[in-house]
Amino acid sequence: MSEGWTTKKPTALLVLADGTVVEGDGLGATGAVEGEVCFNTALTGYQEILTDPSYAKQIVTFTFPHIGNVGANDEDVEHLRAEGQAGAVGAIFRAEVSGPSNYRSAGHLDAWLKQRGIIALSGIDTRALTVHIRENGMPNAVIAHDPEGNFDVEALKARAKAWSGLVGLDLAKDAATGAEVIWEEKPWVWNAGYGAPSDPRYTIVAIDYGTKRNILRLMAAEGARVVVVPPTATPDEIMAHKPDGVFLSNGPGDPAATGEYAVPTIKALMDTGVPMFGICLGHQMMALALGGKTEKMHQGHHGANHPVKDFTTGKVEIVSMNHGFAVAAHSLPEGVEETHVSLFDGTNCGLRLKDRPVFSVQHHPEASPGPQDSHYLFQRFFRMIDENRPQAA
């Protein structure tokens, strides 16, 4: 694999667990951090990608070469936490980050990365790194940035080799806000910003395993008062809000690890008959609660150009994805229907229960790659709620 073309002293390194060292130019935060290296094929949305809590403990390689040229702002952030690092720990770019040129820009990407504690590296052959990941899987690594270019390479190699990786890690507790929040924001409108909800018709409890803001906005747009609760909330605490529906959010880490405390809660909520909808990690843990299994993927799905077929409609939609674990379709028990499948590799992307108002999808319908191919899933959720409301006497 190429180690870049810069002739000056490198100020950043990517050190893979197999000993490969990739040199480049550093930006963003300084220091060193472990993570799993993946690649993302999206052409836009780098702020949303880097602040997606589902990328916790991951280093994102952007296959699109020009990242940062529209700058950064405070509106295009996905995590809920008001402070601290939440999302990707590192980022890798092909081209040097240029000065921002966009009317919405509030600053340079470099300053934004520093503020959020994200270490970044530019000036390397990202195509070669992407091929390496496709052929060998997502490697464990350390990304390091020192403006003076002083690195203990052997220590970094040992650190990368010693890191255990994502399998077995519960990261949801760190990715979530950890507190109850009443969500009060609707989707962004051109030159008007984010609207405020009014006269809600539904109460939705969203279990926060590392949720994204735009998911909550789209539920608010459907007329919901959204109550965000921590991942460790008990069934009694959740049902005390008298929800019309329960949402299981996206999030990072190994679903089996988070499922140790989340799955019993999900099972108990299913038994109440309340309508449920899950996305990404929420989808995976719903499958676990139903008796299915999850498995680590070779290279994962990360991008905004993934074709998925909805068997319930026969339609194909272009979706956004971000996951390194998948539901094993063959493990789904009787009574659970597979509703969506990836047309890239045939992996499971959705399920529903045949006898209860419960469904979930692996992809991110709020991320608008189509741009709105998957928004119908939110409407499906609220239609399900309407169909299962107690009838007035």
Q: Report the CATH number that the domain containing residue 24 is assigned in CATH.
A: 3.50.30.20
Distance of CA 48 to the CA centre of its chain: 9
Q: Does the pLDDT value for residue 4 go beyond 90? A: no
Same domain (yes/no): 348, 242: yes
Q: Between residues 183 and 188, which one has the greater pLDDT?
A: 183
Q: Does the pLDDT value for residue 40 go beyond 50? A: yes
Closest listed residue to residue 332, CA positions, set 300, 297, 305, 360: 360
Same domain (yes/no): 71, 100: yes
- For residue 199, what is the domain's CATH number? 3.40.50.880
Which of the four pLDDT bands, split at 50, 70 and 90, describes residue 197? confident
Question: What is the set of active-site residues?
Answer: 280, 364, 366
Same domain (yes/no): 98, 117: yes
Of the residues 162, 193, 214, which one is the last residue of a structural domain?
Answer: 162
Give the pLDDT of residue 193.
87
Of the residues 108, 139, 162, which one is the last residue of a structural domain?
Answer: 162
Residue tagged 């300053």 (tokens) = 111
Q: Provide mean pLDDT across the span 136-159.
A: 98
Indicate the DSSP class of residue 367.
Answer: G
Q: Does the pLDDT value for residue 391 go beyond 80? A: no
Q: What's the domain range around 311?
A: 172-387
Residue 5 maps to a domain? no
Cα(279)–Cα(176) distance, integer angstroms: 15
Q: pLDDT tens digit string along 306-349?
A: 999 999 999 999 999 999 999 999 999 999 999 999 999 999 99
Same domain (yes/no): 217, 88: no
- Rounded percentage of the chain residues whose pLDDT exceeds 70: 96
Q: How many other C-beta atoms lie within 10 A of the C-beta of residue 63?
A: 18
Residue 83 maps to a domain? yes
Residue 212 maps to a domain? yes
Spell out the residues 6+ positions from residue 340 whose beta carbon is closer than 8 angstroms to its own: 308, 309, 310, 311, 348, 349, 350, 361, 362, 363
Which of the four pLDDT bands, split at 50, 70 and 90, describes residue 144? very high
Same domain (yes/no): 113, 45: yes
Q: Which residue(s) pair with 314 in the sheet? A: none
Q: pLDDT tens digit string along 60-84?
A: 999 999 999 999 999 999 999 756 5
- Rounded percentage of the chain residues whose pLDDT exceeds 90: 89
Asked whether the beta carbons of 56 and 171 are under 8 A apart, the reply is yes
Q: Provide mean pLDDT across the span 8-27.
A: 96
Q: H or E element: which one contains 315?
A: strand 315-327
Q: Does the pLDDT value for residue 162 go beyond 90? A: yes
Peptide bond into 371 cis (omega under 30): yes
Which of the four pLDDT bands, split at 50, 70 and 90, describes residue 6? very low
Same domain (yes/no): 244, 303: yes
Cα(261)–Cα(259) distance, integer angstroms: 5
Query: Phi, psi at residue 272, to the nearest 5°?
Result: -75, -20
Same domain (yes/no): 95, 132: yes
Same domain (yes/no): 235, 382: yes
Q: pLDDT tens digit string along 236-257?
A: 999 999 999 999 999 999 999 9
Same domain (yes/no): 72, 181: no
Give the chain's mean pLDDT.
Answer: 94
Same domain (yes/no): 132, 250: no
Give the pLDDT of residue 91.
98
Please report, as a single letter, which amino acid is at residue 171: L
Give the pLDDT of residue 191.
83
Residue 6 maps to a domain? no
Give the pLDDT of residue 154.
98
Q: Does the pLDDT value for residue 392 go beyond 50? A: no
Indicate the DSSP class of residue 94.
Answer: S
Residue 32 maps to a domain? yes
Give the pLDDT of residue 5.
47
Give the pLDDT of residue 85.
67
Residue 7 maps to a domain? no
* Total structural domains within the chain: 2
Same domain (yes/no): 241, 155: no
